[in-house]
A and B are shown apart, each in its own frame.
Chain A
Amino acid sequence: MTYITKPQLHHPRLVENALGKTRRDYEGSVSTLCAGSGHDSISAAIIQAAYELDLPPHRVAKLSGIGCSSKTPDYFLGASHGFNTVHGRMPSVLTGANLANRDLIYLGVSGDGDSASIGFGQFAHAIRRGVNMTYIVENNGVYGLTKGQFSATSDKGSKSKKGVVNHDSAIDLVSVALQLGATFVARSFSGDKAQLVPLIKAALSHQGSAFIDCISPCIQFNNHAGSTKSFDYVRDHNEAVNTLDFVVSREAIHVDYEPGTNTLVTQHDGSVLNLHKLAEHYDPTDRISAMAYLAGRQAQGEVVTGLLYVDPRAQDLHEGLETVETPLNQLTDAQLIPGSKVLERLNASLR
């Protein structure tokens, strides 16, 4: 909680992006979260990614549910559309908004309580349907707002701040997302912006359901010895499978790694993911082996991060449903009410 607003004065040599905006123009109001919260770092990464992608703020819709994580959309992209839903219902509201207006860029922000407990079903179906969105879970493995109970993503055997050992199995959102058919799946860490920012940029330009599980230590209630979501634990067990350069066009690719250690993935919109392999033999376009790899490493207590899976031929919900391309709010009365003759023709076709 900070009492003063962040000063408007900024570094005199801030660089403007293609829209003439500086990074500071993508900020929101000042955070009211606890000092040091990982969530604030994720907000900063989203600001950086939106700035680097030259996103027009008014073309972005940010949606969230309830919880510390779900408060954060107030702290970034202050000039974008926002919707704060009831607990766990962000995926459904986002799906509806996306169906009504496919032209906006959808960013869902949620937490482990909001997505793995009360909203688990909603999460599953939004992913399963391939809604074109970026879905970020700010995962701290704890109910911070209610003072530190285990959440559904707390690892079995991990300890609470008071020393209680968790006996429930954890939901691994990354594995679930892979299983349910997400076409872009990544895991990252709030304390590693060099990894996180390119992942958010790639996710925002992915045409399909992009899911990022971002481990975000809760300083107040889950940053102690025995926690598996603390800064120290994640830093000690972080196993990045690759590093990502996100490039907008193929021409701009500059590869300075040894040949054979790079994978180039071109997405639907022409953007290119330049992946530098860190783990040998890891292929981020092979869903089945990604799942197996994750399960294997996880069993050894490692936290696998990086771009875990991407399907460059992703399809989104609109393609499956063959919906109209124009956003509904731009359709005229004549288009929406085509008249009784059209209705008769339609009925006749179904008889």
Chain B
Amino acid sequence: MQRTITEGPDYFHKVVDCQWACPAHTPVPEYIRLIADGRYSDAYMVNWRSNVFPGVLGRTCDRPCEPACRRGRVEDEPVAICRLKRVAADNKSDISAFLPTVAPRNGKRVALVGAGPAALTVARDLAPLGYHVVVFDGDAKAGGMIRRQIPRFRLPEEVIDEEVGYITGLGLDMRLGQRVDSLKDLLEEEYHAVFVGTGAPRGRDLDLPGRQEAAANIHIGIDWLSSVAFEHVDRIGKRVIVLGGGNTAMDCCRTSRRLGGEDVKVIVRSGFDEMKASPWEKEDAIHEDIPILNFLVPKEFTHENGRLTGVLFEKVVAQFDERGRRKLVPSGEPDQHFECDDVLVAVGQENAFPWIERDLGLEFDEWGMPRVDEVTFQSTLPRVFFGGDSAFGPKNIIWAVAQGHDAAISIDRFCQDQDVRDRPAPGTSMVSQKMGIHEWSYDNDVSNDLRHRVPLRAKDEALRNVKLEVELGFDLQLGLAEAQRCLNCDVQTVFAEPICIECDACVDICPVDAITFTANGEEGDLRMRLSAPALNLTQDLYVSGELKTGRVMVKDEDVCLHCGLCAERCPTGAWDMQQFTLEMTHAGEKPCAR
């Protein structure tokens, strides 16, 4: 193999699995260290810069970082990254002094359609630069799906108000309660650019026999959740069936339990394991005595005298064809009928753009989605940009934020007559952590703790009030203990072959057999010849140039604990522990190198 090129932003960024997996590339180990250090406000601001809604995300994020976390590969479970974010948000002091100052107006006007996470991110990035940002939303309060669809027992309203408030406080021109009904009309006003962040607002329906007749007791999940959020609905029948296996279904069933539902079931077509809901959300539902029944396909809503009586299901089994594709086929068993008073349909969400005229030059694809550039988020109408669920369909808040940052860069460049395809590089730096012979400026002692559980409110109390937050969050001690589980993957093992004397000290001390000195070869061959075979092909090999004996040093990044013992045992300093920092460059910023 060729000597690994570690220069540039990518190689070491990939080693920081959590940051690489985060769509907004939040510097996770950095803020976890700040939490361990008791610097909650600083930890909060590191998050705020990257992901804009740390308090919200610390409770609701889909956490792509956690399945990526290296800790999950050396023991049972990853670091509770998401809930640590909440620790920073819960324990910070007044951070208003750290918020950006707003530059004098630059004469450019930008309209944002929707006040959800994507649009608010665009506003956060553009307002401080002097843009006149006008935000339209049909709801009376800003926040979009964060406010409309996430139940209050998972996300208290104060948290939304606070974090939305940091952005609306940047001098935005908020036009709440004003739904945009025509893009054409909007474009006729004096805007230099328009950002569409209208989400995926339409819940899918199930058109089955009985749907019309029993309509009074059949509700579309996300609409029903937003009626609950805005307090238009405060009760539901005693027996509730939730159809669907995603996170919205989990929110629906748990909300039902708090509004009078005593016998609440989730019934899904597929198998339990293939459900779209995150494992922890399923766990939370089961904890609240909600059974999840699988392999049942709804056939008919049964009703009597215009009143829903239940749902009839066909039993199916999963079959796999020779290409491994799954098909649900009738099991041949008799259909099963479940009685209920209400049904919540949570079988997916769709985008809807009835307000965008199709003759403006803004092209749509065959599925009714706008044609949007995946890098610039620009539509075929150059001054209209998209982001969040309205750009590429339903995803999660953290994706909306990441796309908002990217769209803001494009809008800024577009308004300044620069090429939107010319994207700013992230700012990176490498700083040695060596303080003394065996002293590092990070805590390299690896904790043996298993993942800590977030304390919950007692179930009977939690189920009595739909607004009472059920998770209590980590307290300071638990937060510290969980923070110590982080392996500091951003503190990189950096190898300097000219001073290596091949004494094997690093090989002998490495607790996870990551380092090997051997003859060079092709990657596939080399991977099998290491101290421990490197079978995880998603993780890179770090290969040195040729050493004095003609061999090369090969390090498998897969399960490195970043404990620094290789560097401590190295007599010549050929190994060094260096902190790799990567900060995304947002709109109007220069790549920052510390």
Contact = CB atoms under 8 A, between A and B. Distances in A.
A9 B504 CA distance: 21
Nearest to A235: B549
B505 A223 contact: no
Interface in A60-110: none
Contacts of A43: 508
A330 interface: no
Contacts of B444: 4
Interface stretch (A10-18, A143-151, A294-302): A10-18
Nearest to B513: A11
B316 interface: no
Contacts of A223: 501
Contacts of A13: 532-533, 535
A202 B175 CA distance: 84
Interface in A205-220: 217, 219-220
B563 to A, nearest CB: 5
B438 interface: yes
Given A9-B448, A191-B503, A1 B438 contact: yes
A2 B565 contact: yes
Contact of A34 (B502, B549, B571): B571
B508 A41 contact: yes
A9 B438 contact: no
A41 B510 CA distance: 12
B446 interface: yes
Interface in B238-271: none
A220 B571 CA distance: 9
Nearest to A6: B511
Contact of A12 (B73, B446, B503): B73
B503 A219 contact: yes
A37 interface: yes
Given A217-B503, A231-B502, A10 B511 contact: yes
B299 interface: no
A41 B505 CA distance: 7
A43 B508 CA distance: 9
A7 B511 contact: yes
Contact of B572 (A1, A6, A36): A36
A89 B550 CA distance: 42
A190 B563 CA distance: 25
A37 B559 contact: no
A335 interface: no
A347 interface: no
B446 A7 contact: yes
Contacts, number: 98
A4 B512 contact: no
B509 A6 contact: yes
Contacts of B532: 11, 13-14
Interface in B507-547: 507-509, 511-514, 532-533, 535
Interface in A26-49: 31, 34-38, 40-41, 43-44
A12 B570 CA distance: 25
B561 A35 contact: no
A36 B563 contact: no
Contacts of A35: 505, 568-571
A8 B448 contact: yes
A231 B509 contact: no
B445 interface: yes
Contacts of A235: 549
B504 A193 contact: yes
Nearest to A5: B445
Q: Which of B444, B501, B505, B571 has the most CB of A within 10 A?
A: B505
B489 to A, nearest CB: 14
Nearest to B574: A36
B506 to A, nearest CB: 9
A9 B508 contact: no
A311 B503 CA distance: 33
Contacts of B548: 232
Given A4-B445, A219-B503, A11 B512 contact: yes
B74 interface: yes
A232 to B, nearest CB: 8
A7 B448 CA distance: 8
A179 to B, nearest CB: 32
Given A7-B565, A31-B509, 9 more contacts: A4-B445, A11-B532, A35-B571, A37-B505, A40-B569, A41-B505, A44-B504, A219-B501, A235-B549
The 6 closest A-B pairs by CB, nearest first: A36-B571, A7-B446, A44-B508, A219-B571, A4-B445, A36-B503
